[in-house]
Amino acid sequence: MLNTLLGRRHVLSFACCAIFGSAARAGDSDPLATALGARWQQRYAGKPGGLTLLALTPKGPFFATTLEGVTAGSHFRGASTTKTFTAAAIMLLDQRGLLNIDDALTATIPGRNEPYLPDTPAFAVPNKSLITIRQLLGHRAGVFDLANQEVPATKPVPYAGMRYVDWRVAQDAHHSFTKDELIGVLATIQMSNDKPGASYHYSDTHYTILGEIVERVSGKPLDQFKASELLTPNGLKDTHFVVDGRESTLPAPSIEAFALEQGKITAADDYNYSYDPGSGNIFTTPADLSHWIRSLVRGEAGVSPHQVARMCDVAADSQYGLGLSRKMAGSFDLGFGHNGGAPGFLTSLAYNPANDMGFVLVSSLIDFDDLRGQLGWMDEVAADALQQIMKA
């Protein structure tokens, strides 16, 4: 469907992360926007939301959207693309000799007489002495996922039979989640998915623990460390991480968001986004996020090329490395990046150093009824777009 895609170049200054002044939109003369619109109609005809694509290529940046008024500077929830920043923070501290990713959580922080996690009941993570920082980065520590797994009904806690985050929000819609709180719940329920190192099991709580480690090693709150060490040096002025549960709406300008679940569509513009500290609490823009993944994978974001190579060393059974995954669409190599899903948005993000092409593709309708299918479809859309840009 994208065989006529040619793309329209816009000027984007990555030095200061300038925003595109106008958007190519489906129905305009731009073939890229028209092609995105056709793909959207094939899958989600009659439903709200749409696609927004920013591709960075040797020919320059290409931007298109199916949505009225959306630009490369429009904010959205990047969800688990947050993990690329948390992983980068860990690798930066390892690079500086302030931690060792092969240390266990009970080991002492280099040069200090204290462990990565306190030796107290509140931090009694199951199998803590066997879990390494590397295993947390690669989702191989077996940590129970407090954001996505229900606590067994047999547990003597008030949130038994529920996901902890859902239970807490039901008590207080604007509750501000903390890493200490979530790790404390993990210590209380004493649940795990597998023995450390035994298998790959994606869990947001892996990255909650990593965020705690960043704070304890650096002496700074996680969001502040990321801001000073990753956002500001890379000119990401329109990106931040939500820690206050009252900050439930996106900053302007933003993309209107929707969710499809059990055949019902709901607006998703107001949502407590503090529930996933370290794992999925990013507000960002296509301009910022595409610049970030390109700089990170190229070894130009502050994390050294050696460290980035370690991040991109993916396991055969998961295609997941240390905060970065290998993304393929059929036989087309999209490169290294991360997906992200939160109420209102699904994001596909990657950069391939072999052809110097990167992209962020955002759907402002998340399809909880077929999330896996939607993710695969989005990667196909991105691959078609990149291939046709290459041919243009």
Task: Name all domains of the chain by residue range, CATH numbers in brackets.
Answer: 31-79+232-391 (3.40.710.10), 82-221 (3.40.710.10)
What pLDDT does 29 receive? 52
Q: Which residues contact 115 (CB under 8 A, 6 or more apart)?
A: 105, 106, 107, 108, 109
- Contacts made by residues 90-94, CB under 8 angstroms, sequence distance 24+: 90/133, 90/137, 90/210, 90/213, 90/214, 90/322, 90/323, 91/303, 91/307, 91/308, 91/310, 91/311, 91/322, 91/323, 92/229, 92/230, 92/302, 92/303, 92/307, 93/214, 93/217, 93/218, 94/307
Ordered mean pLDDT values, 10 residues apiece, the chain (392 residues): 22 26 47 94 97 97 96 98 98 98 98 97 97 98 97 97 96 96 97 97 98 98 98 98 96 98 96 94 98 98 98 97 98 98 97 97 98 97 94 82
DSSP element (H, E) containing 391: helix 371-391
Closest CA to 361 of 36, 16, 25, 129: 36
Task: Tell me: cis bond preceding 253? Omega within 30 of 0 counts.
Answer: yes
What pLDDT does 202 receive? 97
What pLDDT does 7 receive? 24
What count of residues does the chain have?
392
pTM of the predicted model, to two decimals? Answer: 0.92
Rounded CA separation 100/82 (Å): 21
What pLDDT does 273 receive? 94
> Residues 289, 360: contact at Cβ < 8 Å?
yes
What amino acid is encoded at 182 in this protein? L
What pLDDT does 1 receive? 23
